[in-house]
Structure 1
Amino acid sequence: MTETMQYNQAGHVNRQSDTFHTGRGSAAHHGGIGPAARIASWRWKPRVAHIQNAAAADVGRGSETMMTFARGDLFHAARWLKSGGHKAMVVTGFYIPQAERPAAESDGPAGAVELCEALRAIGSDAWLVSDEPCEPVIRAGASSRLPEDHVAIAPADAQHFERWIDAMRGLVNHHGIDTVIYIERVGPARDGNPRNMRGFDIDRWTAPLSRLTGLGLHVIGIGDGGNEIGMGRLDSIVIEDVVEHGERIACTVPADELIVSGTSNWGGHALVCAMYAMGCRRAAPLLDVAWHRSVLADVARAGGLDGVTMRNTPTVDGLSEERYYRQIRMMSDIARGRR
């Protein structure tokens, strides 16, 4: 994907002058596979659609409605990644400054680490990317699961960020990275500033990682509330109509594919499950609920917060553990052909 972008003084997108060009319909969008293989891949579509429906289960933010406007994107994203050889940056981290003990939330890091592990398991490669405010939680999730040199942390101040983005451009060129996946990463709204679900401007605690979309990479977005990078793929009226504060928080940055889910971790798991259903059997350990419990426990020990309760617990978006893991288990069962 290529785009022409301008940024405001805070380093965020100036939406009045943006022009985005996605790769949908191009040869690149097909993941480098030939026509015969593309046709054959459609045999997986019904199962992947079942996974997508499970991931989009609504927890009160309109995810099922928003998903209908990006239906089929999970299939296309999984087909792109499963073709092998695609190296990705996986970007996450959503900071909660209003909490008694501010930290990154638990939704996003677990799904991001899962995607990194899945890509590495199938012979590709992935780098986990976040920013300094979220660093303790991100590193805890990655610990023992990813090499240290595969975790990239952006500085919070604008001057150092410019040098960092240049370094990331070098990383992309050196390793042949061709994809960036955003999962539960807040992006700029209409006014150019990132806002949380409460409509609160968190620009001060958020590095402008949406600028990685300017590196000419294939972009996949995963989100659950309308304010995440990639949600610009939807017409803004959809988010405004179904999400509280939607007119203020809707992210304007698009993606080649958008996966809308009840929680973003569910969206990340859906993508891994779709890849597994398409034949990526080396991702099998990630379908086990025990793996997910382990990551969330590590995230919580590092101070990670439930994004709804803003408490330091190994839970996600105010859901009970039974409710949260029921959906994880359901998607895994669908991927395995048990449902």
Structure 2
Amino acid sequence: MYKKYFEQIEKIVRKNLDKRGMDQIRLVGELEKGARELWTSATVFIVTGFCIRDTLTGETDGPIGAISLAGALEQLGKKVVIITDKYSKEILERCCVVKKICAPVESVPHKAAKSFCDQLIEDYKPSHIIAIERPGRAKDGHCYSMRGEDLSDIVPNTDILFERAIERGITTLAVGDGGNEVGMGKVRSFVVHYVHQGEKICAALSCDCLLVAGVSNWGGHALTAALSLLSDSMLLHDMYTEIKLLKSMVEVGGVDGCTKKRALTVDGLSLEENIEILQKLRLLVELAMDEQKKNIRAI
């Protein structure tokens, strides 16, 4: 009965995709597919954090979506491990405190990334791995910003986790908004054709489930909203928690990925614009749960 609601969630988080040419990508049913995969999960790796070269700190897009999803999964009894690098580690740790999340935050080093990632797989044995706004290596082996800046010399290679997942049959998911994030290899032809410098920046790796959102944080919220539908419980946090999360990130150096400023904005969008998306998702979940209750009473 929730099919129409999954579709509406996808529509809500597609706002702003036209700004980068990503609106041409239309994957049908990926949100529901991804949510149902996570519903069956046991241990989930959430890989996030996108370093801004000018500030050498993580950006505000990615961590909030990751924390939103981590909180939902923990409420559902899943084990979560958050994986990032030194640029976003403190940002994510602060967010975990705000949301009272128990998940460990692992930081992949630039050197010895391969052995570190291999050990993470062995130690935690994930059933699912999801990337939310995480730089992915392009076909040339380098990773890039949306502007085409080569970040390979500073960003640890976390593609290794997804390569190992493919080898071992671990389910992979990804959320992105620009084409240069892990998982975007699934829609490479669209990124190359419609996104500025798409041929250069497009991440090579594909994934089992890909959610394209106007802002990657919104994609994390979308998955949380979808899990809310599957569990008949509100797993999305409220606007006040969203504000606390953003403030906590900025306090420890988080910056807007577009403006490169320490401000309560994400991808150049105001706090109000981001809150509006969260509120729309919460309202939709509430409507769906009300409909479910009415249907049960009618039986």
* Same fold flag (TM > 0.5): yes
- Structure 1 counterpart of 2:117: 165
Paired with 2:237 and 2:23, the residues of 1 have a C-alpha distance of 23
- Structure 1 counterpart of 2:45: 89
Contact 2:89 2:105 in 1 (8 A): no
Paired with 2:213 and 2:266, the residues of 1 have a C-alpha distance of 13
Paired with 1:162 and 1:300, the residues of 2 have a C-alpha distance of 30
Contact 2:114 2:160 in 1 (8 A): no
C-alpha deviation, 1:282, in angstroms: 5.6
1:264 aligns with 2:219: no
Q: Pick which of 322-331 and 263-272 moved more.
A: 322-331
Q: Residue 146 of structure 2 aligns to a residue in which SS?
A: coil
Contact 1:56 1:63 in 2 (8 A): no
Paired with 1:81 and 1:109, the residues of 2 have a C-alpha distance of 18
Paired with 2:53 and 2:283, the residues of 1 have a C-alpha distance of 37
- Structure 1 counterpart of 2:171: 218
- Structure 2 counterpart of 1:47: 5
Match among 256, 264, 268 for residue 314 of structure 1: 264
- Structure 1 counterpart of 2:145: 196
Output the amino acid matched with 1:89: F
- Structure 2 counterpart of 1:247: 199
- Structure 1 counterpart of 2:182: 229
- Consecutive unaligned residues of structure 1, counting only runs of 5 or more, are 1-42
Q: Which string of whole-angstrom CA distances, capped at 9 and with x for unpartnered residues, describes residues 66-104 of structure 1?
A: 2x1x22100101111224x53200000000012xx3310
Q: If the length of structure 2 is used for normalisation, what is the TM-score?
A: 0.90
Contact 1:103 1:137 in 2 (8 A): no
Paired with 2:73 and 2:281, the residues of 1 have a C-alpha distance of 18
Contact 1:132 1:156 in 2 (8 A): no
Paired with 2:128 and 2:266, the residues of 1 have a C-alpha distance of 27
Percent of residue pairs bearing the same amino acid type: 29
Paired with 2:128 and 2:23, the residues of 1 have a C-alpha distance of 26
C-alpha deviation, 1:118, in angstroms: 0.6
C-alpha deviation, 1:64, in angstroms: 2.8
- Consecutive unaligned residues of structure 2, counting only runs of 5 or more, are 292-299
- Structure 2 counterpart of 1:121: 75
Paired with 1:127 and 1:280, the residues of 2 have a C-alpha distance of 24
C-alpha deviation, 1:226, in angstroms: 0.4
Contact 2:234 2:285 in 1 (8 A): no
Paired with 2:176 and 2:23, the residues of 1 have a C-alpha distance of 12
- Structure 1 counterpart of 2:92: 138
- Structure 1 counterpart of 2:297: none
Q: Which string of whole-angstrom CA distances, capped at 9 and with x for unpartnered residues, describes residues 108-132 of structure 1?
A: 0111111111100011111110012
Contact 1:130 1:152 in 2 (8 A): yes
CA RMSD, aligned part only?
Answer: 1.7
C-alpha deviation, 1:323, in angstroms: 1.5
Paired with 1:126 and 1:288, the residues of 2 have a C-alpha distance of 21
1:181 aligns with 2:130: yes
Paired with 2:171 and 2:186, the residues of 1 have a C-alpha distance of 14
Paired with 2:101 and 2:116, the residues of 1 have a C-alpha distance of 21
Q: Residue 142 of structure 1 aligns to a residue in which SS?
A: helix
Q: Residue 143 of structure 1 aligns to a residue in which SS?
A: helix
C-alpha deviation, 1:307, in angstroms: 0.6
Paired with 2:279 and 2:256, the residues of 1 have a C-alpha distance of 20
Match among 302, 311, 331 for residue 252 of structure 2: 302
- Structure 2 counterpart of 1:25: none
Q: Residue 316 of structure 1 aligns to a residue in which SS?
A: coil
Paired with 2:155 and 2:45, the residues of 1 have a C-alpha distance of 18
Q: Residue 204 of structure 1 aligns to a residue in which SS?
A: coil
Q: Residue 74 of structure 2 aligns to a residue in which SS?
A: helix
1:102 aligns with 2:56: yes
C-alpha deviation, 1:280, in angstroms: 4.6
Alignment of 1:61-100 (within 5 A): 61-66=20-25, 68=26, 70-83=27-40, 85-98=41-54
Output the amino acid matched with 2:35: A
Output the amino acid matched with 1:227: N
Paired with 2:114 and 2:39, the residues of 1 have a C-alpha distance of 33
Output the amino acid matched with 1:182: A
Q: Residue 133 of structure 1 aligns to a residue in which SS?
A: coil
Contact 1:133 1:205 in 2 (8 A): no
Paired with 2:114 and 2:144, the residues of 1 have a C-alpha distance of 22
Contact 1:119 1:126 in 2 (8 A): yes
Paired with 1:162 and 1:63, the residues of 2 have a C-alpha distance of 31
Q: Residue 137 of structure 2 aligns to a residue in which SS?
A: coil
Output the amino acid matched with 1:232: G
Output the amino acid matched with 2:37: W
Output the amino acid matched with 1:271: L
Paired with 2:114 and 2:193, the residues of 1 have a C-alpha distance of 36
Paired with 1:49 and 1:269, the residues of 2 have a C-alpha distance of 14
> 4+ residue runs of structure 1 moved beyond 6 angstroms?
none
Q: Residue 124 of structure 2 aligns to a residue in which SS?
A: helix
Count of paired positions: 283
